Chains A and B, each alone.
Chain A
Amino acid sequence: MSRPKPMHPSRREVLRFGGLGAGTLLFARSSFASSISADADPHFFLLVVLNGGADSSYMFDARPLSMTRAGKIQNYLGKEPDPWIGKNGGKALSTSLIKPLAAFRDRFSVLNGVCMAPSFDGHLQNMNFLFAGKPFGGDSFVPHLNSSETGRKPESLDAIVPTDPLFINVDNHSGVVPLRPASVKALSATLRNVEPPGSDHGLVDFMRRRLAAHTGDAGRFSAGSSLMLAGLDGAAQVHRQLASLTAPSENLGPEQQQLALIAECFRLSISRSAIYVLPESFDVHAPDQAKAQPKLFSDAIGRIATLFKGLNDTPFDAKRSLFEVTTVMVASELGRTMRGVDLPIDQTGTNHNQFSNSILIGGKGIRAGLVIGASDLADEKATVSKAHLALDGVLEKTMGLPFDFSTLKSRPDQPDAFDIKDYLTIGSVVNTVYALFDVPKSNYRSLRRDLPAAPVLHGLLV
């Protein structure tokens, strides 16, 4: 009988989070079977999620120390940031913590000042907004990348999740499957010893007939039978694919194991995408938690750098690395306020900020090295628009600057009223990914029910 799952995370386990080291760890250059993807132009997607609302001022949207001295923004790193200039002339400030990523600056671009769900500042609403474009959930964008409507043959699965999962309300994640490195060894070994469905044609034909006998009606059971039938049709291939999975070496660190598994799943056409959730929690309301951000981000960025290095070093086939066939997006569901209200600047945590989020995007199809978008309140002397004041009268938050979608540059004007059309939103980012994967425009996210689709960032695409 199945045993009850252990309760997790325990108090003690949580207190150990963030203790995992970063640093560059070598991947064993695993021998690979040549990619069996039938796709002449393989294209995969890796979404790295920073859970809890990551403070971009510790990465690529930093602020000068003068602003901290003026009591405007907490900064527990205590170092002056450095300019991060994009090839397109876009400007940002980056902290020293991003150093491990500097080696990959020709692999990704930075998007700053991205607006999430304007009317909600909750974790769940914004995570739903990231995935589904609606604060209360809906269809996630990730499975759309694997749709046959893109013109590609769908992979067996929409996505794998090799890490802890996320809590979101989406309707279409039946093809998004948890698959952890620890399970792969036994799984592939067992599957090699079991005949895949279809080996005994007579029997599987019989099973198919029984399933087919129940499809076609409007009832729930018929719908389930249809899904089973489709599943059975694809199961033999999935069985063989999973059976040929090579378990990542246990000598590798957790990120390398997870990336090795992702690489295998891409190579073997098991999955179109992967959703990778970093173990760190970035929700730093309490001062003590906020003070730990330098270490928090050091660890997290170390992991991201490890992933980037792995993508770079891991071959997809004889000619290409994984990075060359994968579009990568690193995002959190929210940004953070600059400080808490009524707390000393060196004793404050931060709250949620849905008006300015930062996203890294790179890999296949993305023009790397750009800085697109920016947030306001660049320093202690900056003024804000009336639009900002209407939404955040106490100036606790930075907000994305109005955006020119044709030039991909921030606008200098300061609107009197908030109009979502003026701002760079997550909708544009997702629609850009959609455009990259040839997802039909009928799926594109609109800015609002009565507005057109959020503009694609064409200048970001190769």
Chain B
Amino acid sequence: MKPLAVALLAGVALCAAVADGAAQTSRFKGWAAISKELSTRIAPKGEMLDLDRFLPAADMEDLLGRWSTFGSEHAFQNGLPNAISIAIWHATLSNFATSVGASCSAPQLEFHAKFAQTLKDLCSWPAAGAKADALLMDYWLAIMGYNAPEPEYVAWRDHFLASYKDRPAAETITAMTLAITMNPYFLLHK
């Protein structure tokens, strides 16, 4: 079947890439999983947030943890935290957080109605109403979900009530969002 032989891949380069061999530590969930989690919690039902625009460059999600694609058995790659992946996560999530903070003045993303209301209420910060525990909890759970144990929420809440008590809403919400999304309970998996 020479024609088949001709049609076939000729000397396909050996395939994919290195797996995270030492999975004795938690790894990043990866960009795909994080995007899905956030979308489930704060996007309109059945829709996905366009979060790719917050990545600093094309293909950067490769550095944030992903299952390898095509050409070999799949392994989860680049899931172990290192300085560059933290730098990329930080840059990406900073962009996302800034966008959420900026939504106080003009919508940047399309949100689920419940989250939109929560955000709107929080945007009255530093008014007293914005500092209510119930509202802060709502916001925490919207971004973090139930990933973290309660003491994490308490630490986060107490930090912002103390350190951001008089700061403007956009700045505060940006910082709040970044603090949640850079938390290991948000980013790490297994």
Q: Contact between B70 and A7 (Cβ–Cβ < 8 Å)?
A: yes
B95 to chain A, nearest CB (A): 7
A189 to chain B, nearest CB (A): 8
Q: Contact between A123 and B57 (Cβ–Cβ < 8 Å)?
A: no
For B58, give its contact among A186, A220, A231 (CB under 8 Å). Answer: A186
Beta-carbon contacts under 8 Å, B140-156 to A: 152, 155-156
Which of B6-14, B100-108, B109-117, B120-128 makes up part of the contact surface?
B6-14
For B83, give its contact among A2, A195, A231 (CB under 8 Å). Answer: A231
Cα distance A200–B90 in the bound complex, in angstroms = 12
Q: Contact between B183 and A239 (Cβ–Cβ < 8 Å)?
A: no
Beta-carbon contacts under 8 Å, A1-47 to B: 1-5, 7-9, 11, 14-15, 17
Q: Contact between A167 and B17 (Cβ–Cβ < 8 Å)?
A: yes
A122 to chain B, nearest CB (A): 11
Cα distance A438–B10 in the bound complex, in angstroms = 42
**Given A2-B61, A183-B58, A214-B184, CB of A157 within 8 Å of CB of B83:** yes
Cα distance A194–B178 in the bound complex, in angstroms = 13
Cα distance A104–B85 in the bound complex, in angstroms = 37
Cα distance A137–B20 in the bound complex, in angstroms = 12
Mask of B32-61 contacts with A, CB within 8 angstroms, 1/0: 100110010000000010111000111111
Cα distance A131–B59 in the bound complex, in angstroms = 26
Residues in B whose Cβ lies below 8 Å from that of A209: 155
B7 to A, closest residue via Cβ: A11
Q: Contact between B14 and A289 (Cβ–Cβ < 8 Å)?
A: no
B137 at the interface (CB under 8 A from A): no
Mask of A60-77 contacts with B, CB within 8 angstroms, 1/0: 000000000000000000
**Given A1-B52, A167-B14, A203-B179, CB of A182 within 8 Å of CB of B58:** yes
**Given A183-B58, A202-B163, A221-B26, CB of A195 within 8 Å of CB of B17:** no
For B12, give its contact among A9, A137, A157, A178 (CB under 8 Å). Answer: A9
Chain A interface, number of residues (Cβ within 8 angstroms): 82
The A/B interface has a contact count, at CB < 8 Å, of 217
Q: Contact between B87 and A235 (Cβ–Cβ < 8 Å)?
A: yes
**Given A186-B57, A197-B90, A225-B184, CB of A15 within 8 Å of CB of B10:** yes
Residues in B whose Cβ lies below 8 Å from that of A378: none
Q: Which 6 A-B pairs have the closest CB atoms?
A: A224-B26, A234-B83, A223-B25, A231-B86, A190-B56, A186-B57
Q: A177-B85, A239-B90 are in contact. List 7 more A-B contacts (CB 8 A).
A: A4-B69, A123-B14, A127-B14, A168-B18, A194-B94, A224-B81, A284-B11
- A sample of 16 cross-chain residue pairs with beta-carbon separation below 8 angstroms, ordered by A number, consists of A1-B36, A1-B39, A2-B31, A7-B69, A14-B10, A165-B16, A177-B85, A183-B58, A207-B182, A223-B26, A225-B26, A230-B82, A232-B182, A235-B83, A238-B83, A289-B11
Which B residues form the contact surface with A (CB < 8 A)? 7-22, 24-27, 31-32, 35-36, 39, 48, 50-52, 56-63, 69-72, 78, 80-87, 90-91, 94-95, 152, 155-156, 159, 163, 175, 178-179, 182-184, 187-188, 190
Which A residues form the contact surface with B (CB < 8 A)? 1-5, 7-9, 11, 14-15, 17, 51-52, 123-124, 127, 137, 156-157, 164-178, 180, 182-187, 190-191, 194-197, 200, 202-203, 206-207, 209-211, 213-214, 220-221, 223-228, 230-239, 242, 279, 281, 283-284, 289
